Structure formats: structure tokens, C-alpha cells
Amino acid sequence: MEGIRSLRLITAVKTPYLPNGQFDLDSYDNLVDMQIAKGIEGILVAGSTGEGQLMTWSEQIMLIAHTVNCFGDKVKVVGNAGSNCTSEAIKATERGFAVGMNAALHINPYYGKTSLDGLVAHYNSVLSIGPIIVYNIPTRTNQDIPPSVVQTLAQSPNLVGVKECVGTERIKQYTDEGIVVWTGIDKMSHDARWDFGAVGVQSVASNLVPGLMRKLMFENKDVTLNSKLIPLFDWLSQEPVPIALNTALAQLGVIKPVFRLPHVPLPVDKRIEFINLVKQMGREHFVGEKDAQVLDDDDFIIVGRY
């Protein structure tokens, strides 16, 4: 448990696809290897960045198992097992731990939502199974998980901590109470880590610049580096994650330019912006070895059934 709580940099890893829309495990393994080579400590599998919402449960558990089997001796593996249906969340959590993940990430029930008492009951149902990270991102769920709920859940020894996306004051409140917190917002990560007590970040940007993100989380406060990264953070968040990330990784030649609907690539003017960012920041900081290039609309494959 303490090994998970001490992780400063977890990559919410992107799931690449083949032209038929199935998983491209060769590209996935290559991307994870690039993360490990730059010192990433943990991999979050099939979160919203990894498009778990576009997977069947069988696909999701298979990818968690694959990650554990291939990389579990090098990094901690956090598997997304969240659902708006408690029964499904329980089953996914049991299956994820059965295939060897170290912790489960759980978003609160969304769309249908529930009461605060329902939130506590939902989380207690999965906390009884194993180590759980609570994920609070109201911009996706339209329901905040307030401190009163987290404080109640913190009584369970299986609560690893919270992935918190509300703000730094909330992070400070939890860390003052001894609750472990990661931010899920790259733009917030530097200040959250060094000024508000967060242990680190569960990062989207580290898919692209793992070395710089490690430096940001490990090597003391660095306002200059953070300022250098802000334009990339802003570019990645202009549309819902992982639309920009998918576009970027394809233009770096790290993954095939394949999208599962309802995600589609960014328009060409935004693709050009990314290439200019790479030039400004230095190609050597980004994953992959191919020249970054602006892809044409016809280069992308959009898959509706897979």
C-alpha cells in the first residue's frame, strides 16, 4: 500500500489501435517502454485517457492483465475499474485484482448519479476488495465528491488516496488530514506537488514528454520548466482528453492514426500548432524517434464498429 501511495508520476497511458480498431499491442508496449525508460513509476490502464469508456469489460481486463504480465516487475499498475453501476464496478475490481493489478481507480457513479450516502455505500462495496484510488473529476461526472465523503472513506485501510481534479485548496485540505492525493490535471501538477502537498500527478502529458514530467515531479520546484510546459498542457486540454493526445502521438509516429468513435482528430490548424510546439520545446523531449509531421485528414482512420 505504501509503495502505491509514494508514486510521484503515473502515466495515464493511451491505448493505440490497429486500422481495424482492435488494440495495437506492439505500439502499446513500445509506448509503455518509453515511459519506463524515462523513469515513470506507475501506469494507469484504460482510464479516460486510455479510453476505457470505449472498451468492453473483457478488453479492459485483458489490457490490465497484459500490462501486469509485461511490465508489472518494473512499474505499479493501476487499473480503471470504475462504473456508474456498483455491480459492474465490483466485478471489474475483482477481475482486475485477479489478474494482478496493484490498485483500482474508481470514478464516482455518473449520469444517473446518486446521493452522498449512496456514494459512500458504492465506494465501500469496492473498498472491501482491495486497494482503491477515488477519482474525483466533476467536469466529467457532474457530481463532486465532497470532503465529507472522502473523510468517511478514509477510515478504510484499503483507501490508497484520491485523484483530485477540483483544485489545489481541496488538495491541501486532504494532505493536511494525512490523505494521499494526486492531481489529475497536468497544468495544476507543479503547484499541487510543491506548494499544496500532493504526492504527484496522474498525467496525460507524460505520454508525450515523460522525462520532463519526471523532472517536474522529482527535482524540486521549477517554475521555469513549468512555464515551458504550460503551452503543451493547454494544447492537450483544448478538447476532451484524449482527443489531442491521440492526434499528437500519431503525428510523432508513435501510434497509428486510428480513432475509435466518438473521438475524432483535431483539425489541421491545431495539428500544425502541435508541430510548432514540438519545434519550440525540442523534438528530443518527446517520445518516439520519427520526425514530427502534420498529418492530412486522409491519413486518419476513424472506426465506428470494432
| Chain segment 165-194, per-residue pLDDT in tens | 999 999 999 999 999 999 999 999 999 999
Give the whole-angstrom CA distance, residue 64 versus residue 17.
Answer: 16
How many Cβ atoms sit within 10 Å of the Cβ of residue 94?
15
In which band, very low, low, confident or very high, does the pLDDT at 222 lie, cut at 50, 70 and 90? very high
Question: Average per-residue pLDDT in the chain?
Answer: 97
DSSP bridge partners of 43: 11, 77
Residue 304 DSSP code = S
Q: What is the pLDDT of residues 1-40, one digit of tens each?
A: 889 999 999 999 999 999 999 999 999 999 999 999 999 9
pTM surpassing 0.75?
Answer: yes
Of the residues 14, 76, 163, 215, only one is catalytic, namely: 163
**Which residues are CB-neighbours of 264 under 8 A, at least 6 positions away?**
243, 300, 302
Give the whole-angstrom CA distance, residue 90 versus residue 243.
Answer: 29
Polymer length in residues for the chain: 306
**Which residues are CB-neighbours of 263 under 8 A, at least 6 positions away?**
51, 54, 242, 243, 246
The fold for domain 2-220 equals TIM Barrel (3.20.20)
Where exactly are the structural domains of the chain? 2-220
Of the residues 17, 28, 135, 174, only one is catalytic, namely: 135
Residue 299 DSSP code = G
Q: In the annotation, is 135 catalytic?
A: yes
In which band, very low, low, confident or very high, does the pLDDT at 141 lie, cut at 50, 70 and 90? very high
Give the whole-angstrom CA distance, residue 109 versus residue 111.
Answer: 7
Q: In the annotation, is 110 catalytic?
A: no
